[in-house]
């Protein structure tokens, strides 16, 4: 990371800021470095300072200062994003506003099933605070030990609980936001119904820090289930998987809390790279589904429900083999087969990721069509398809050809991305289901989005951030 | 209704419009009249014409014409709104764009659990189309036989299914919208996950026609439950009702699909004005809750679940009496006691309505505090509280003093509204939970809303409708 030293006027501006707010001001290059590079080490930005305000009022103060000095601001939570949304720009006068010190759980209202948290609260801390109150906060994703709720909101994060509980957007009732000119909006409502004007909340959610800084939120809580029970199902075709989903939703209703698709190749990679894992079936199946029931009654009841469901599935020919976890340890072992896919694929070598969604009714046709398009560009490339089938969301990833040249494969990335994303568009899908746009998918998204839609988004950006100070260059192509 | 005849230039403009689009152009005053007055006969507007386009493209054509001629447009669905949002302005050059002919179900995708409908589809028609595909469309409200999905979206309508399925917003995946300058935005996505830019969908939902014309939508469908079973519970205090809600949610999870509070006075009015109705208990209870379980399994299973839940409630002292419907007819009879409250109150005479929400944890304290404030202004006035307790949403209505002067009572309306709404604000609540602002609550909402929030809304309005052509004067005070 290299950056020019701040000019005198920048130094003067920083001197004026220092001591005028409560929090931490970091200007040392070495200390700033981890805030300027993303988790995947793909993007590096520059900044005059990294600022960690203590309170939302301090954020407002910092933002007013940035506004007066025409300095760009990139909000940053746990910096675990996958799309390059939380680094400052590579040029210009920028600061990072880190939410690290905005880490208070402000209130838990168990009877209202809500929790009010500051943006820098780690997702796992939030989950624990809910559990301590006898409630469930259902958002759950791989980075939960280090990502923050502010980042989850800014990217509308998904994860493994969406089938039942929705995306982060669906879990939020109210927001506190600092505007680009340094005003603090208190929209921290804990209401299930409130029709008193435009939905600003959902506009900030998913805007990746380009419209303002989310400083706190009121999130929904749910009754903690009495037990969760997982099962692993083997299938011959992806069409069977969507049919099984229909059956499971009809029979289990909202107690069905996960429905994850895992291809044979994805499972084989986990078994290869994690020798402690065990195959769920005696003979490998072309497709696998990990499904989970969360029951309000008891573990025994959940297991009985799941066994009856799978018996019906075998009976109707929408499952070829099935195993129900007999204990919490067995459930965890089944989940590990799903959770270790990403790491296994990394361990295997060069790979590409696509975070896509298509209507559930088209997913089984999309999978082979995408593979054909892939193989036409990169013969021998290995499709590693898995993901949240119940949400229509696949991590449609690709590993380099076995025994092939990883670098040569990676050089095909633009063509492969384009072919897969064109096909996603042809299937009425989305090229960014849960990871957001950041820098990674900004221009691709603009390519597929109707022009009028981009115009409307640009109009909103201009209206709410007329000086283009908030996380410039992210989400939307520069004006 | 009186209005000036159109000037020559207006006549010329209308002549240019007529025949240039497919649909119906109504300019006859008598034929226009029902479109210019609201359902409660509280507001009457004026219009040069009522236009009923045949297709979304025709709406775009009409809107471009209106834009070129600087004519204001009020979109109108079933015209069943309660807040005066669907009448044109009382002065100026306006048209009504009625969605009456945009009434096609464009597609049902049972496997994706989605339905694509035009804005003018009647809610009941949509429910039926879902049922025909073996699915449930869960939005349900009193006006469902005549309101349209476009109006439901424009007002983010609530109803009796919100506890489980959410408001109209939560049921929508994609929109088609005509902008104020006549461009057609196709955002008709049927995806559960899509993070590719700002959330325009939720901005249009609930904006009451002030930002554009919703012409079609992709709505979510759910598995049809095997059975619904209702129960009526008598309680001594409102605190018991919120405790019962906690218990019911913990035990029944998402199978709890309704939780409606009914005061003794509300129930008594129904029994008085609908002589065919029967009291649910031998001795009247101070409070009543109508709750409903929707089970994916069977009616017998649902009844057993409900009986076990109510046994636990009686055991824990959060219910004083309870009856579970033994048949569909009994369930309907119990629901009738809830559904006929509004009519009964109208039959009783002069009354005021408040459509409010507060956090569920504060509702039991709010109710008597509001009654005390009410009685200080209008001694003898009768609080008739009922509504969607599970959503924190009460119809906190008031009937005139028994034997008193209805007109004198109605003259107190501004003071009563103010006192109740001040108290709602003090309880962190909303003065318009599910009916929207329209004209009725526009200025009151602005009074309680933080100034920065109103500023942000005005900025969005200016950005998306710079000529202020869309339903001017609704939702936000004039700029």
Q: Which of B171, B198, B243, B421 to mutate to test the interface with A (most CBs of A within 10 A)?
A: B198
Looking at beta carbons, which residues of chain A come within 8 Å of B435?
A: 195
Query: Phi, psi at residue A276, to the nearest 5°?
Result: -75, -15
8 Å CB contact between A324 and A229:
yes
Looking at beta carbons, which residues of chain B come within 8 Å of A358?
A: 191
Q: Exposed (0-12), middle (13-18) or buried (19+): which is B391, by Cβ within 10 Å?
A: buried
Cross-chain CB nearest to A254 (options B156, B253, B475): B253
Q: Which residues pair with A386 in a beta bridge?
A: A262, A395
Reported as a pLDDT band with limits 50, 70 and 90, residue A282 is: very high
Cross-chain CB nearest to B434 (options A114, A193, A198): A193
pLDDT at residue number A1: 39
The pLDDT of residue B414 is above 90: yes
Least Cα distance to B274 among B353, B333, B352, B354 occurs for B333
Chain segment A97-108, per-residue pLDDT in tens: 999 999 999 999
B357–A193 C-beta distance less than 8 A: yes
A113–B445 C-beta distance less than 8 A: no
Is the ipTM above a cut-off of 0.90? Answer: yes
B251–A255 C-beta distance less than 8 A: no
Taking the Cβ of residue A113 and every Cβ of chain B, the question of whether any pair is shorter than 8 Å is answered with yes
pLDDT, chain B, mean: 96
pLDDT at residue number A40: 87
Chain segment A167-210, per-residue pLDDT in tens: 999 999 999 999 999 999 999 999 999 999 999 999 999 999 99
Least Cα distance to A70 among A182, A174, A153 occurs for A182
Give the list of residues 6+ apart from residue A397 with CB closer than 8 angstroms, or none.
Answer: A345, A351, A352, A353, A354, A383, A384, A385, A386
Give the list of residues 6+ apart from residue B423 with CB closer than 8 angstroms, or none.
Answer: B366, B369, B370, B373
Search chain A and give the residue with CA nearest B462: A463
Residues 30-89 of A with CB under 8 A from B: none
B196–A430 C-beta distance less than 8 A: yes
A169–B296 C-beta distance less than 8 A: no
In this prediction the pTM is 0.97
The pLDDT of residue B170 is above 50: yes
Search chain B and give the residue with CA nearest A250: B223
Taking the Cβ of residue B304 and every Cβ of chain A, the question of whether any pair is shorter than 8 Å is answered with no
pLDDT at residue number A3: 47
Reported as a pLDDT band with limits 50, 70 and 90, residue B479 is: confident
Looking at beta carbons, which residues of chain B come within 8 Å of A213?
A: none
Going by the DSSP 8-state scheme, the letter that residue B55 receives in this structure is: S
Chain segment B210-234, per-residue pLDDT in tens: 999 999 999 999 999 999 999 999 9
A194–B430 C-beta distance less than 8 A: yes
Reported as a pLDDT band with limits 50, 70 and 90, residue A277 is: very high
- Rounded to whole angstroms, the Cα distance separating A275 from A277 reads 5
A393–B192 C-beta distance less than 8 A: yes
Taking the Cβ of residue B312 and every Cβ of chain A, the question of whether any pair is shorter than 8 Å is answered with no
B112–A362 C-beta distance less than 8 A: yes
Percent of chain A with pLDDT over 70: 98
B253–A225 C-beta distance less than 8 A: yes
Q: What is the CA angle A76-A77-A80, rounded to 5?
A: 100
Q: What is the mean pLDDT of residues A160-166?
A: 94
pLDDT at residue number A7: 53
A360–B111 C-beta distance less than 8 A: yes
Q: Which residue has the tokens 């995947």?
A: A40
Residues 1-30 of B with CB under 8 A from A: none
Residues 375-394 of B with CB under 8 A from A: 388, 391-393
pLDDT at residue number A119: 98
The pLDDT of residue A323 is above 70: yes
Reported as a pLDDT band with limits 50, 70 and 90, residue B264 is: very high
Q: Which of A109, A166, A198 to mutate to test the interface with B (most CBs of B within 10 A)?
A: A198
Cross-chain CB nearest to A250 (options B250, B296, B392): B296
Search chain A and give the residue with CA nearest B171: A170
Cross-chain CB nearest to B445 (options A196, A297, A463): A196
Q: Which of A173, A192, A255, A357 to mutate to test the interface with B (most CBs of B within 10 A)?
A: A192
pLDDT, chain A, mean: 96
Instruction: Label residues B230-255 b or e (16+ Cβ within 10 Å = b).
Output: bbbbbbeebbbbbbbbbbbbbbbbbb
Q: What SS3 string covers A443-473?
A: HHHHHHCCHHHHHHHHHHHHHHCCCCCECCC
Q: Which of A152, A155, A196 to mutate to test the interface with B (most CBs of B within 10 A)?
A: A196
B193–A430 C-beta distance less than 8 A: yes
Reported as a pLDDT band with limits 50, 70 and 90, residue A9 is: confident
- Sheet hosting strand B213-220, strand order edge to edge: B105-109, B114-118, B213-220, B172-178, B184-187
Shortest Cα distance, chain A CAs vs residue B245, angstroms: 9
Shortest Cα distance, chain A CAs vs residue B348, angstroms: 28
Percent of chain B with pLDDT over 70: 98
Taking the Cβ of residue B198 and every Cβ of chain A, the question of whether any pair is shorter than 8 Å is answered with yes
Q: What is the mean pLDDT of residues B453-459?
A: 98
Residues 399-438 of B with CB under 8 A from A: 428-437
Instruction: Label residues B152-173 b or e (16+ Cβ within 10 Å = b).
Output: bbbbbbbbbbbbbbbbbbbbbb
A362–B253 C-beta distance less than 8 A: no
Shortest Cα distance, chain B CAs vs residue A431, angstroms: 8
The pLDDT of residue A59 is above 50: yes
Shortest Cα distance, chain A CAs vs residue B429, angstroms: 7
Q: What is the mean pLDDT of residues B396-403?
A: 96
């Amino acid at each position: 990371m290299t950056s020019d030293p701040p000019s005198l006027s920048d130094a003067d501006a920083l001197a004026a800021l220092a001591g005028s707010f409560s929090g931490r001001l970091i200007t040392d290059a070495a200390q700033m470095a981890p805030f300027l590079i993303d988790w995947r080490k793909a993007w590096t930005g520059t900044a005059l300072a990294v600022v960690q305000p203590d309170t939302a009022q301090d954020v407002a103060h910092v933002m007013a200062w940035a506004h007066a000095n025409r300095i760009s601001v990139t909000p940053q939570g746990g910096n675990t994003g996958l799309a390059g949304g939380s680094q400052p720009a590579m040029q210009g006068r920028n600061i990072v506003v880190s939410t690290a010190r905005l880490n208070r759980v402000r209130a838990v209202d168990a009877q209202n099933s809500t929790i009010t948290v500051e943006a820098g609260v780690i997702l796992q801390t939030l989950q624990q605070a809910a559990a301590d109150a006898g409630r469930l906060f259902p958002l759950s994703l791989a980075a939960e030990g280090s990502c923050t709720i502010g980042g989850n909101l800014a990217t509308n994060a998904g994860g493994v609980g969406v089938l039942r509980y929705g995306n982060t957007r669906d879990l939020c009732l109210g927001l506190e936001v600092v505007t680009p000119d340094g005003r603090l909006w208190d929209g921290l409502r804990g209401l299930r119904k409130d029709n008193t004007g435009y939905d600003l909340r959902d506009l900030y959610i998913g805007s990746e820090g380009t419209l303002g800084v989310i400083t706190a939120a009121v999130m929904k809580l749910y009754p903690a289930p009495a037990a969760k029970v997982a099962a692993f199902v083997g299938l011959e075709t992806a069409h069977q998987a969507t049919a099984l989903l229909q059956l499971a939703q009809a029979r289990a209703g909202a107690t069905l809390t996960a429905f994850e698709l895992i291809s044979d190749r994805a499972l084989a990679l986990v078994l290869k790279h994690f020798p402690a894992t065990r195959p769920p079936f005696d003979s490998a199946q072309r497709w696998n589904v990990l499904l989970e029931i969360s029951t309000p009654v008891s573990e025994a009841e959940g297991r009985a429900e799941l066994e009856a469901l799978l018996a019906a599935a075998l009976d109707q020919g929408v499952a070829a083999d099935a195993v129900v976890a007999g204990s919490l340890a067995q459930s965890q072992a089944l989940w590990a087969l799903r959770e270790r896919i990403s790491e296994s694929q990394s361990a295997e070598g060069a790979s590409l990721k696509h975070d896509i969604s298509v209507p559930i009714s088209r997913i089984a046709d999309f999978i082979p069509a995408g593979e054909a398009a892939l193989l036409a560009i990169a013969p021998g490339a290995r499709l590693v398809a898995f993901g949240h089938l119940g949400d229509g969301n696949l991590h449609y990833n690709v590993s380099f050809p076995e025994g092939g040249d990883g670098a040569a494969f990676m050089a095909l990335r633009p063509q492969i991305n384009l072919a897969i994303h064109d096909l996603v568009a042809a299937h009425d899908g989305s090229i960014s289901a849960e990871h957001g746009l950041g820098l990674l998918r900004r221009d691709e998204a603009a390519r597929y989005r109707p022009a009028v839609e981009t115009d409307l988004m640009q109009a909103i950006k201009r209206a709410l951030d007329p000086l283009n100070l908030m996380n410039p260059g992210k989400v939307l192509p520069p004006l």
